[in-house]
Chain A
Amino acid sequence: MSYGIVAYGSDNKIAFHSDYSSVVYAGQMSTTTSAVQPTYTGDHHIGINAATRSSNYDMGRIIQYDITLDVDFFIPFYCPNHNNQEICIMDVVNEGTKWVVNLLFSGTSSQAPAVYAFAPLTELPSSAVTLSDFGIAVYDSSSNLVFTDSKRPLRIDDVVTITHHSSIKTNSKGSVSLGANSYTTSSHVNFTSNKTKDHSGSVTNTANKLYSIVPSAYGGLAYNNSGEGTIDCFAGLVTKQYAFEYKSWASFRGCVRHTRNTTTHTATWKADFAGAAYQYVDTSCGIGGLLGSILGIILAVFTGGLSLSLVVGAALTGFVIGEMTVGTVPSIKAYTQDEVFDQNSRPVNLMVTDKSYYGIT
């Protein structure tokens, strides 16, 4: 540099520099919705109670945060609510002067993690920066504020490359037994993920650590059971036909948990949307041939397009309690087969910092 100022840390790397804007802590994000576990509630659905959402569908909870911050570039960091909490930042959405984060987490509805916003100092509106009467303010050659002691700069303790397992679950899901005269069912298979992947960092996880990562991995698990047959109405002389179709699924997101007092970051899977549907039909004795058209009702749910949109919209009805707008509703999907979308386990960097650097309590 031919002018200005540069300061170095004890590691001989830049602490601040008048050519470059520091990235600073810009505030804590607020939750704008209740935490929800969306499930399919459309035609022929089977209810999934709270305990089963956890035990069989491995569901986390979706919640939305926002912060009024008129910047073009933004980095969200989260602080887990408790040890081993599994978290996925699902979406980061810019809505003009506001940034929105959709997040999936494990735990109870009152255990949402805290989310903090960081942004380049040069982008913060002047109203968001109050200079002290003393201390340091550094400007670049265009008179942009690039460092001030009143906005503490982002200090990264560790960067860890995270990949997710290429499978969500490899052990048995179990089965739902159905057949003739199975008019209803409340049974569910077990979609609980059994695949995780550990990654070692260089700093110890504590309750004060903040993490930033938007995992690229997502996918789903599905279970299908269908059949048809003949029921004897009278001494083998008169029969009727029956058919059934059972479908269930759990849509998963790649999450990360950070076990305290270790340096381990574990890539895990947690479901963001689940559903189960069942339809049984039979004919009157002596009548046949109608089953295919009747069972078409349940099949339409899974053909995508308009039908699927209606299903997903209904499932998220409870999520629109807060200020969520259509443009920020997370994308969720009903699966008809096991799938993982992750570009062959593409690595994504996890950044680690610490609350104490920013005066966050």
Chain B
Amino acid sequence: MTELWWAQIKSVVRLELRKTLFTRRGLWIYVLALLPLLLFSVHAVVVSHDRDRSSQLAARSQKHLTYQDLLAIKPDMTRQEVIDRLGNPPVRFHWRGQRPIKSGTFTNTFNEAYRYSDGTNDLFIDLSDDKVTGVHIRGGFNVSEDSIVFAGVFQFFYLRLAIFFGCLGIFMNLFRGEILDKSLHFYFLAPIRREVLMVGKFLAGVLATCIIFVTSELLQIFVFTQQLSPNVRDIYLYQNHGLEQAAAYLGITALACLGYGAFFLAAGMLFRNPILPAAVILIWESMNPFLPALLKKFSVIYYLKSLCPVEIPTPMGTPALLSLLVSNPDPVSAPVAILGIVIVAMLVLYVSSFQVRRMEINYTSE
């Protein structure tokens, strides 16, 4: 019997995958999945361009500068002190201007702007009449800062929006789409248990969403690490847990597809209009930080947040509500989180199995 079910599931998966992955109706899901990739690709191009410019600037400097040299420049230093410390500037602008001294009277000034670089970070100095009036350091590419940005994009866009709505589009259509297309009877007329059909469709949905979203995540990680110089990349991947973080992101993406998929598959069987259940699930997931401890557990995001490898810091003065969304005050261990999502998904599928047996083909009422 198990062998027959497996053969049936494979056939359903084959049919559904083809339908799900190659449909014009699902193009928006690809766009959603590839948006962060586009963002990181653009960022990588900008970083690469900046790095080249900083390297050229550093090469043109009189002295070999370090980051400490750049930090040593303070306001009110004299022009000579700056040149003594950093050498002649590789980039210099100057212009004449006026400065108010009393109301209605001005004095002439001689202004300059210098620019130095240590090869990674750029220093911008403003001088007026040979005195430093402003100092600004533009930091170059910083792995730890950028990995936090990566985590932010993953948690707040990819996980909560892209994967959420992507799963909505794919899983809701597994049954609802076929009812609207009036083609669900194709399956219902075959000698296959309805529960087996449901499992086949669910697995097809999980595979399709994983192919789309895990692949996109993998490409995002690739682009993110490719923008690092080789030695920094090695340090990030092998010493600073970069590889572990990458594996965690891929795993979380797959688990999100599984968890959200189960909910949306059930919703697609229960509701005619997908907007309402989608809104309810979205609100439920967003409300998770504010829910009592027990109710939190009946949510996908609760477990996914616990698995996220990089915690996003909340700066001082962040509103309490926003802090709650960002932080995870009550995380669960990774095994519990993984098991939690799997159990929640299985529970939802178990309940759905009753619905699929009761389903009728009555296209005219749709």
Same complex: no
